[in-house]
Amino acid sequence: MFRSGGFVADHVSPTTDAQVQPNGVDLTADIVFEQLEPGRIGRDGKQIGDRVARPLEELEEADPDTYYLPTGSYVVRYGERIAIPEGHVGFVYPRSSLMRNSCMLNTAVWDAGYEGRGEGLLQVHHDIELERGARIAQLVFAEADHEDVYEGSYQGENLE
């Protein structure tokens, strides 16, 4: 069973009332990164390639706090701290307005026990303006059995 937006909101911070949806909580875009170097996925480990934060206000007379993103792939860090409670699994879906603007957010599984400010892959198929703090995705929780809780290398990431 999927949990209500109110339940999800108890595990996401900060949130405003506008972010709480019937079935989940909207996540906002905080930092947009561009990958510079190759990463590596090995049999026994992985390495994330070097990246750089995209500048805000790159164009003259641009709105403040807005990313002007040309076609390409970016890693976006969400603005909220997320904790996946035991007995649950999290899924993140893109806002359809991204899709309708020829962009897409690709996401993976959020494990029980994970806590941090996670990331998603933003695919930009047509130039887009993205205001920092704008809602781009929605997090939902489903009840789920599991043996262990998440203790991987991303545990506690970006909580400074």
Ligand X SMILES: O=c1ccn([C@H]2C[C@H](O)[C@@H](COP(=O)(O)OP(=O)(O)OP(=O)(O)O)O2)c(=O)[nH]1
**Closest to ligand X by CB, 130 or 139:** 139
Verify binding: residue 23, ligand X, rule CB under 6 A: no
Contact positions with ligand X (CB under 6 A) in 78-97 = 92
Of 47, 48, 51, 46, give the one whose Cα is nearest residue 36: 51
| CA distances from residue 133 to 28, 42, 65, 76 in whole angstroms, order as listed | 5, 34, 9, 11
Verify binding: residue 141, ligand X, rule CB under 6 A: no
Consecutive H or E run containing 67: strand 66-69
Query: Smallest gap, in angstroms, from Cβ of residue 6 to ligand X?
Result: 22
Single out the segment in contact with ligand X by CB under 6 A; choices: 25-33, 49-57, 116-124, 128-136.
116-124
Verify binding: residue 110, ligand X, rule CB under 6 A: yes
Helix, strand, coil percentages, rounded to 5, for the chain: 10, 45, 50
Verify binding: residue 74, ligand X, rule CB under 6 A: no
Query: Smallest gap, in angstroms, from Cβ of residue 53 to ligand X?
Result: 17
**Closest to ligand X by CB, 5 or 120:** 120
- For 56, what's the count of Cα atoms within 13 Å in the CB-facing half-sphere? 11
Of 130, 119, 134, 136, give the one whose Cα is nearest residue 67: 130
Verify binding: residue 109, ligand X, rule CB under 6 A: yes
Site of interaction with ligand X (CB under 6 A): 46, 92, 107-111, 114, 118-120, 150, 152-154
